[in-house]
Amino acid sequence: MNVSPPPTSCSGLLGPALTPVGAVETFAYDLGGNLSRHVDRKGQVTTYTYDALNRRTSGLYADGSITNFVYDAASRLVAAIDSLGGATENSYDVLDRLNTQSTALGTMAYQYDALGRRTAMTAAGQAPVTYAYDASSRLRTIRQAPLSPVALEYDAAGRRTRLTLPNGVSTDYEYDASARLTALTYHNPLGPLGDLAYTYDRGGNRIRVGGTYSRTLLPGVIDTATYDAANRQLTFGALSLTYDANGNLISDGTTTYSWDARNRPISALTAPASASFVYDGLGRRTSKTINGGRTDFLYDGADIALELTGKTVTPYLRTMNIDEALVRGGNAV
């Protein structure tokens, strides 16, 4: 999405934003400085309400959908109820740590130690995932039966130096004097698999990728590409790309895309294939339907913990870093 940030006006109550392509979007604020109304470049109006403590209690969107937010006496979010994506409910322990999060798909449960570190997570009906740390609170092992543990090692500066997966495949990490990652080397129990090497300029920008894996899965060469004044790509070889007024891609020359009133992709069509998507009140994609086959997702924060396709349950094993999946359905990823 290509969305301009809300501008600051003299009153703080209303501010128009001129975009690179000349369209206008407007933002209105209440007396508490909370964003109360937004009109995007497609003319779609979103309104927000707040309680006396300036907590957002609802968002009403141009398509008529609404998300309501409920808080407890400690101002913790206990429910996000979306008219399209259903309800997400949270419970907390006495130290304000997330204890459970429940949706129609099931419940995620968490445990912590005296230092506030996560020690266990259980995803709806799955074996618990447990976490162990060293004296410096660095994550050292991740376990989920019946898999072998994931092991992590670090250097004296706290940088990760090795990651070993349950199948025995390991990754070694190397750094330069500026703590920039310079190499990744992959091994299995029988020996080396391959490597990646990185080179940087004086400004710290990565300028080269080398190693035996450096060209794996690279796309073919495209001779020509053109862009508009908003830096949107207009052509990709022989294909033409088009966008809506909000900057969302609606066609890439082979696939057409549609977006909801919240600028989220809700469908893709490459005839005869099709896909559609549904989101929860926190903006997470909770289901996809591809050519009639539906998959639902249960989340651990912003990351997928489980996929459910019919009666098939596919769990993920992850670190607690965003988008770092280690095992999917029992297989390393």
Closest CA to 41 of 20, 72, 60: 20
Q: What is the pLDDT of residue 222?
A: 74
pLDDT band at 20 (very low <50, low <70, confident <90, very high): low
Q: What is the pLDDT of residue 332?
A: 60
Q: What is the pLDDT of residue 220?
A: 76
| Pairing outcome for strands 191-200 and 66-71 | unpaired
pLDDT band at 215 (very low <50, low <70, confident <90, very high): confident
Q: What is the pLDDT of residue 23?
A: 78
What sign does the dihedral 220-226-230-231 (CA atoms) show? Answer: positive
Six-digit token string for 284: 């997470």
Q: What is the pLDDT of residue 136?
A: 97
- For the segment 21-29, the average pLDDT, to the nearest whole number, is 87
Opening angle at CA 155, ends 154 and 160, nearest 5: 40
- For the segment 28-52, the average pLDDT, to the nearest whole number, is 98
Closest CA to 43 of 20, 58, 63: 63
- pLDDT, one tens digit per residue, over 227-272 is 998 889 999 889 999 999 999 999 999 999 999 999 999 999 999 9
pLDDT band at 12 (very low <50, low <70, confident <90, very high): very low
Six-digit token string for 41: 């470049």
Amino acid at site 21: V
Q: How far apart are CA 73 and CA 164, in angstroms?
A: 44
Six-digit token string for 184: 């990744």
Q: What is the pLDDT of residue 56?
A: 98
pLDDT band at 19 (very low <50, low <70, confident <90, very high): low
132-135 — which CB contacts under 8 Å span 24+ positions?
A: none
- Check pLDDT > 60 for residue 319: yes
- pLDDT, one tens digit per residue, over 181-210 is 999 999 999 999 999 999 999 999 999 999
- pLDDT, one tens digit per residue, over 51-100 is 999 999 999 999 999 999 999 999 999 999 999 999 999 999 999 999 99
